[in-house]
Amino acid sequence: AKDFRLGTIVPAGHFWSKYATAMGEAIKEQSGGAHTVTVFPSGQLGDESQMVQQLQSGALDMAFLTIADVSNRIPAFGALYAPFLVDNVGDGAKLLKGETAQKLLEELPGKMGVLGMGYGIAAMRQMLSTTPIETSADLAGKKMRITPFKPFRDLYNIIGIAPTPMPLPDVYDALANGQVDAIDVDLELIMNFRFDQRAKHLLLTNHAMFPMVGLVSGRVWAELSEEDRKLVGDNMAKALDDLLAEYGRLEPELVSQVKATGIEVKEVGPEFFPGVVEKWEETWKDQKPLIDRLRAEAAAM
Amino acid sequence: MIVSIGFTVLLLAGVPIALVLAMTAMIYIVVSGNTILFQSMPQQLYGGLEKYGLLAIPLFMLVGELMNEGGITRRLIAFAGVFVGSLRGGLAYINLVANLLMAAIIGSANAQIAVMGHVMVPEMVRRGYNREFATAVTAAGGLMSPIIPPSMLFVIYGVLAQISIGDMFLAGIIPGILMGIAFISVVAIMGFFYAYPREERKSRRAALSDILGALPSLTIPVVIIGGIAGGIATPTESAALAAVAALAVGAIFHREFHISHVPQILIRLVTNSSMVLFLVAAANVFGWIIVYERIPQMLAVTMQQMTSDPFVFMLMLNLLLLGVGMIIDGIAALILIVPILLPIATSSYGISPFHFGVVVCLNLVIGLLTPPVGTALFVAANVSGCKPTAIMKPLTPFLLASLLILMLITWEPRLVTVILSQ
Amino acid sequence: MLFLTRASKILAKAELTAAGILSVAVTALILLNVITRTLGESLFWVDEAAISAMVWMAFLGASASLHYGTSVSVTLLPDALSTGIAKVLGKLVDIAVLVFACIFLWLTFKWFDPIGLAKADFSFQKFSASTYNFIYSETTTTLGIPKFWLWLVMPVFAINSTIHSLANVLAGKPVETPVSTLANPD
Ligand code: NA
Ligand code: NA
């Protein structure tokens, strides 16, 4: 009997936490109560980099992590953040279940000491601004809060934005008084933090997907019986699959919720940012073959 | 069991509190058999400090140091004297109003009591006030320091609770002002029983010169609170800007700050801020073990069996904290309490983390003055030359007033949350 | 023993000096952040640099505080005891601190695992593949240097704490204090 610990950075009410809990219940039921899973939300056991370290030592059994931290360690994962790779969450989910993305998971044990059971996802990334944005030139020189990791930083450097790192809880105030002018964000976060009250101009870009990866500690895995591995692996894979489907359903709902707030919503595509995708791929030329394969898979959808 | 015995023994023996926390975590790891956790321990200790908000701690300490060396304290007191000096008991009111102004610059009760005690107590004694009473007023006035922004306690709470430190600062404004009003009322009421000395009215000319003299100093709270509330700067940045302002005021306007003060300032700064930061780091290890062992979850179940009413929960919390505050002080107590009780307060009782934070901090601030362990009480006694026990009697009405404010804020969360933007 | 006392003293001074310089660096970096952001030229690495400087400052200062005896502790019991017994208790506390320092030294030694690294011919990749210890492959988010350079403060802290606490146990605590007791923060 084992009580697994699963860590994640998002709060308890977030879908990632909910599906982690659901996975725990399934594991408990199918093991006849022998195995349980406790979910530690809100980064209670540390930030993502600390959770990775605990996965590596075996102190933490499982985690649902954004691939931000993973891509800092294994740059190839950054390719999944390529700008305008997919148009919507549904295509993102298909791409993540595709051959190329799944093959990436095989790098995890050797390079990070963890096993990837599959991908989850959050809503597509958008740009929310306090001032109207007519052309991409209007974005140049703006101060934008972004998640500080390389793929996004490169994108905004190319657009000419001054990226400003800042903890998420501070963003609401910062938008109110000009500490930042814009934020790279998804629709779920806009509604949860009510950023719409402070920034009234949304560029519905869908410029990047935001994958999550379900991990199991390599050390813990090594100690599991064949049967328990199957139990854990199957249930985590199922929870992640359900999560992908959930976001697919959620996306149109989020769009109408945001539109109902009355803020200006402008739907734009890659043509709004001339030359940006090419320059980004130039910066990421080390991963070019990988990005090409991903784009080919996406185009075939 | 072994763990709590180990904790108590180490704590009472006088082991530095930060090390008590780290060692207790070690004992827990050994007892629970999860020795694998040892491997994460150094990284957890380091990670406890990797928080942007914590930068505010050394910076606000620097502001206090620079302010002190630059002649700002004296001018703020003179400024307060212009408005309340001519009342009967004038110096007692000046003391409190000056403390209110100082609280908008300094983030720690002990630091503020030390500074104000040096200046105000001898002055009040010279004008015929009883030394114990003068010390009690100064000590009470200092309690506003960690409630009115900036506040070291609020910075650490914001980091522990993962909420906006800027909002936490704003949340303290109304409770802090209420404390000021309560203390001023205490002085007024005590005036019915004791004949305070009367002050002479200042000449217009002197009053004008006091106002003008204090203007540069008054830019410092404006930089801090204005910078945060106006959204020009993060609390951390506002502290850095305030340090520049304090340096400029002391060196350029007052010409009292001298470059030769720098080494001593830096040594005090480093010693004091590393003391607090190391405590935060050790608390991160301790809190991590507590969460890892699911102690808050278990405690939450017990609490919920006792009551489902948030107000009753908060009352129980107050009782617990007043007890804790007798033995452990301020930041150290905050660090022990928050990781365990905040998750229960927010998820089981739906209490706003800002409300919870202000109530907990106010409670622990009162604990700074309660015996047997009250660092602020000792600082006040040390600075004024009174015995701690002798201060307790005149201090009691002020402590009762603080408790009254505490009850008021416990009962009405809006006193805390109404000022927040969300 | 005299040597140990002197070493502890010199070390504490060096720690405070380095920490003082770092505290100035923290202030300067935050101001740099304000200025560059106002000019619309935010520098991405400044936050992480400031935080790292603060962490180093804190651990150097914390280690020095073992020498100067300036840490916060509950003195209720020692104050109530007679001088003789309080002295014995004080020695026991010093020994407890030394035990902590030694354990922590061992933990950081296991974490940095210099022997394992040597066995892997100082190849970081070989090291993490063979030990599952990824300390050398982690990079900082914005500074662009390997993270272990920053984490080095932990072994530094462990070694220095061991020296200070060993000196305290063997030769007694020094009476010197670098600070006035006035600005005790809380
Ligand atoms: Na204050
Ligand atoms: Na107390």
CB C146 within 8 A of CB C140: yes
- Tell me the per-residue pLDDT of B312-326, one tens digit each, with 9 for 90 and over: 999 988 888 888 887
Asked if the model's pLDDT at residue C92 lies above 70, the reply is yes
CB B153 within 8 A of CB B364: yes
What are φ and ψ of residue A115, in 5° steps? -110, 135
Q: Residue B41: which of C62, C107, C153 has the nearest Cβ?
A: C107
Label the pairing between strands A264-267 and A201-217.
Answer: parallel
Collapse the DSSP code of B85 into the 3-class scheme (helix H, G, I; strand E, B; otherwise coil) and give the result.
coil
Predicted local distance difference test score (pLDDT) of residue A254: 94
Q: Six-digit token pair at A253?
A: 């709902």
Domain that holds residue C97: 2-183
Residue in this structure with the two tokens 């898979």, named with its chain if needed: A297
Classify residue B30: in a domain, yes or no: no
C33 in contact with A, Cβ within 8 Å = no
Q: Tell me the shortest Cα–Cα distance from A292 to chain B, in angstroms.
A: 37
Cβ-defined contacts of A281-290 (< 8 Å, 24+): A281/A82, A283/A154, A283/A158, A284/A78, A284/A79, A284/A82, A284/A151, A284/A154, A286/A75, A287/A75, A287/A76, A287/A78, A287/A79, A290/A76, A290/A79, A290/A100, A290/A104
Residue in this structure with the two tokens 């509190």, named with its chain if needed: B17
Tell me the pLDDT band of C175, cut-offs 50, 70 and 90: low
Label the pairing between strands A201-217 and A62-66.
Answer: antiparallel
Chain B residues touching A21 at Cβ < 8 A: none
Collapse the DSSP code of A266 into the 3-class scheme (helix H, G, I; strand E, B; otherwise coil) and give the result.
strand
Asked if the model's pLDDT at residue C83 lies above 90, the reply is no
Residues 6+ apart with CB under 8 A from A111: A73, A74, C128, C137
Classify residue B17: in a domain, yes or no: no
Residues 6+ apart with CB under 8 A from A242: A19, A22
User: Cβ separation of C138 and A73 shorter than 8 Å?
Assistant: yes
CB pairs under 8 A between B and C: 226
Q: Six-digit token pair at A162?
A: 């001054």
Structural domains counted in chain B: 1
CB C23 within 8 A of CB B273: yes
Domain that holds residue B191: 53-417
Neighbour tally for C125: CB within 10 Å: 12
| Range scoring the smallest mean pLDDT among A166-170, A294-298, B408-412 | A166-170
Q: Tell me the shortest Cα–Cα distance from C50 to chain B, in angstroms.
A: 8
Predicted local distance difference test score (pLDDT) of residue B128: 87
What is the rounded (10 degree) CA torsion for C111, C115, C121, C126? -40
Pick the ligand that lies closest to the CA of residue B107.
1
Residues 6+ apart with CB under 8 A from B396: none
Predicted local distance difference test score (pLDDT) of residue C44: 74
Residue in this structure with the two tokens 């070291």, named with its chain if needed: B152
User: B255: left (phi > 0), else alpha (psi -120 to 50), else beta?
Assistant: left
Higher pLDDT, C179 or C95: C95
C95 in contact with B, Cβ within 8 Å = no
- Tell me the per-residue pLDDT of B329-342, one tens digit each, with 9 for 90 and over: 778 788 878 878 88
Rounded mean pLDDT, A89-99: 96
Tell me the pLDDT band of B71, cut-offs 50, 70 and 90: confident
Predicted local distance difference test score (pLDDT) of residue B195: 77
Chain A residues touching C139 at Cβ < 8 A: 72-73
Burial (CB count <10 Å: 0-12, 13-18, 19+), residue C124: middle
* Secondary structure string (H, E, C) spanning chain C: CHHHHHHHHHHHHHHHHHHHHHHHHHHHHHHHHHHHHHCCCCCCCHHHHHHHHHHHHHHHHHHHHHHHCCCCCCCHHHHHCCHHHHHHHHHHHHHHHHHHHHHHHHHHHHHHCHHHHHHCCCCHHHHHHHHCCCCCCCECCCCCCECHHHHCHHHHHHHHHHHHHHHHHHHCCCCCCCCCHHHCCC
| Rounded Cα gap, residues B57 and A99, in angstroms | 50
- Tell me the per-residue pLDDT of C117-159, one tens digit each, with 9 for 90 and over: 999 999 888 887 777 777 887 878 778 899 999 999 999 999 9
Tell me the pLDDT band of A46, cut-offs 50, 70 and 90: confident
| Rounded Cα gap, residues A265 and A145, in angstroms | 19
Asked if the model's pLDDT at residue A138 lies above 70, the reply is yes
- Tell me the per-residue pLDDT of B104-117, one tens digit each, with 9 for 90 and over: 999 889 889 988 88
Pick the ligand that lies closest to the CA of residue B67.
1
Predicted local distance difference test score (pLDDT) of residue C179: 46
Predicted local distance difference test score (pLDDT) of residue C174: 61
Question: Residue B223 gets which letter from DSSP?
Answer: I
C5 in contact with A, Cβ within 8 Å = no
Predicted local distance difference test score (pLDDT) of residue C176: 56
| Rounded Cα gap, residues C143 and A155, in angstroms | 18
Higher pLDDT, B403 or B233: B403
Rounded mean pLDDT, A114-139: 94
What are φ and ψ of residue C145, in 5° steps? -120, 160
| Rounded Cα gap, residues B154 and B103, in angstroms | 13
- Tell me the per-residue pLDDT of B139-189, one tens digit each, with 9 for 90 and over: 999 999 999 999 999 999 998 888 888 889 999 999 999 999 999 999 999
Predicted local distance difference test score (pLDDT) of residue C50: 95
Residues 6+ apart with CB under 8 A from B275: C61, C62, C65, C70, C71, C72, C185
Q: Tell me the shortest Cα–Cα distance from C77 to chain B, in angstroms.
A: 6
Classify residue B345: in a domain, yes or no: yes
Instruction: Please give the distance, rounded to the nearest whole angstrom, from the Cα atom of residue B156 to the centre of ligand 1.
Output: 13
C80 in contact with B, Cβ within 8 Å = no
Query: Is the previous residue joined to B216 through a cis bond, with omega within 30 degrees of 0?
Result: no
C175 in contact with B, Cβ within 8 Å = no
Question: Residue B232 gets which letter from DSSP?
Answer: S
Predicted local distance difference test score (pLDDT) of residue C183: 40
| Rounded Cα gap, residues B126 and B192, in angstroms | 22
pTM for this prediction:
0.87
Q: Six-digit token pair at A298?
A: 């996406």
Classify residue B229: in a domain, yes or no: yes
CB pairs under 8 A between A and C: 44
Classify residue B21: in a domain, yes or no: no
- Tell me the per-residue pLDDT of B264-299, one tens digit each, with 9 for 90 and over: 999 999 998 998 899 889 988 888 888 888 887 788
Neighbour tally for A75: CB within 10 Å: 16
Burial (CB count <10 Å: 0-12, 13-18, 19+), residue C96: buried
User: Cβ separation of B241 and C31 shorter than 8 Å?
Assistant: yes
User: Cβ separation of B421 and A173 shorter than 8 Å?
Assistant: yes
End-to-end CA distance of chain A: 43
Classify residue B332: in a domain, yes or no: yes
Predicted local distance difference test score (pLDDT) of residue B276: 87
Asked if the model's pLDDT at residue B86 lies above 60, the reply is yes
Paired strand residues for A128: A183, A202
Helical packing angle, B388-411 and B173-190, nearest 10°: 130
- The residue length of chain C stands at 186
B159 in contact with C, Cβ within 8 Å = no
Residues 6+ apart with CB under 8 A from C121: none
Residue in this structure with the two tokens 């305070």, named with its chain if needed: B196
What DSSP line would sit under B147-195, residue for residue? TSSS-HHHHHHHHHHTS-HHHHHHHTHHHHHHHHHHHHHHHHHHTTTS-
Predicted local distance difference test score (pLDDT) of residue C180: 38
Rounded mean pLDDT, A239-254: 95
Classify residue B77: in a domain, yes or no: yes
CB C44 within 8 A of CB A153: yes
Q: Six-digit token pair at A268?
A: 């734009």
The C-alpha R_g of chain C, in whole angstroms, comes to 20
Asked if the model's pLDDT at residue C181 lies above 60, the reply is no
Paired strand residues for A129: A182, A201
Pick from B419, B393, B399: which is nearest to B179 by CA? B399
Residues at Cβ < 5 Å from ligand 2 ion: B 325-326, 367, 370, 373-374
Q: Across chain A, what does the average pLDDT equal?
A: 91
Q: Across chain B, what does the average pLDDT equal?
A: 87
What CA–CA distances, in Å, run from B261 to B264, B268, C23, C78?
6, 11, 15, 35
| Rounded Cα gap, residues C103 and B27, in angstroms | 12
Maximum pairwise Cα distance, chain C? 64
Structural domains counted in chain C: 1
ipTM reported for the complex, 2 dp: 0.85
Residues at Cβ < 5 Å from ligand 1 ion: B 103, 107, 145, 148, 151
Asked if the model's pLDDT at residue C43 lies above 90, the reply is no
B421 in contact with A, Cβ within 8 Å = yes
Q: Residue A38: which of B36, B47, B294 has the nearest Cβ?
A: B294
CB B104 within 8 A of CB B353: no
Classify residue B186: in a domain, yes or no: yes
Q: Six-digit token pair at C155?
A: 């072994």
Predicted local distance difference test score (pLDDT) of residue C182: 35
Rounded mean pLDDT, A76-80: 95
Residue in this structure with the two tokens 């026991």, named with its chain if needed: C92
Tell me the pLDDT band of C112, cut-offs 50, 70 and 90: very high
Predicted local distance difference test score (pLDDT) of residue B421: 56
Collapse the DSSP code of A188 into the 3-class scheme (helix H, G, I; strand E, B; otherwise coil) and give the result.
helix
Which of A54, A168, A194, A220 to mutate against chain B (most B CBs within 10 Å)? Answer: A54
Q: Six-digit token pair at B278?
A: 């190391």
Q: Six-digit token pair at B416?
A: 């805390």
Rounded mean pLDDT, A232-252: 95
Q: Residue A143: which of C37, C134, C137 has the nearest Cβ?
A: C37
